[in-house]
Amino acid sequence: MLINQNLIALHVDAKTREEVIEALAQMAYEEGRINHMDHYVQAVLKREEEYSTSVGFGVAIPHGKTDAVNEPFLGFARVQGVDWAAPDGNPIDLVFIIGVPEAQAGTEHLKILAKISRKLMKEDFRSSLRKAHTKEAILAIIQETVQ
């Protein structure tokens, strides 16, 4: 399964995108999805340096392809107005993080990214993620998308 309740945070108290990425990576590490926190975080930050993974609408989708990932995963967190160099200039409050092993880098992360991105264009999807009160509710909303 790409995502579970242990890969969801209702509120991450972070001030920077680096802190958000580290918090989400920590969840993935604790869940056994990544084997080396620093290597994964560096891969994601390297991608961020190339181009911000903010897609607008208060959403960012940081991702990394590295051997530090054991199996593909999707993580999610709500944050409080983090600056993510968004194209629309707005702060971020919804973050999806994707991790894919280097060996599967060709298509796997693109499939996940495409499914999430399409759904994120819809206001009702973003709104339901912002209003959900439990990890179970968020998981149900996301699982509909990535099946």
Residue 144 is predicted with a pLDDT of 83
pLDDT higher than threshold 90 for residue 45: yes
Residue 103 is predicted with a pLDDT of 81
Catalytic residue among 11, 36, 63, 133: 63
- The kind and range of the H/E element at 110 are helix 108-120
Sign for the CA dihedral angle at 9, 11, 17, 22 comes to: negative
pLDDT higher than threshold 70 for residue 8: yes
C-alpha–C-alpha distance, residues 62 and 95, integer Å: 8
Domains of the chain: 5-146 (3.40.930.10)
C-alpha–C-alpha distance, residues 105 and 82, integer Å: 28
Residue 147 is predicted with a pLDDT of 63
Q: Answer for the pair 143, 136: CB distance below 8 angstroms, yes or no.
A: no
pLDDT higher than threshold 80 for residue 104: no
3-state SS class at 2: coil
Question: Model's pTM, two decimal places?
Answer: 0.93
11 in catalytic set:
no
Region 101-119 average pLDDT:
80
pLDDT higher than threshold 90 for residue 114: no
3-state SS class at 55: strand
Residue 24 is predicted with a pLDDT of 98
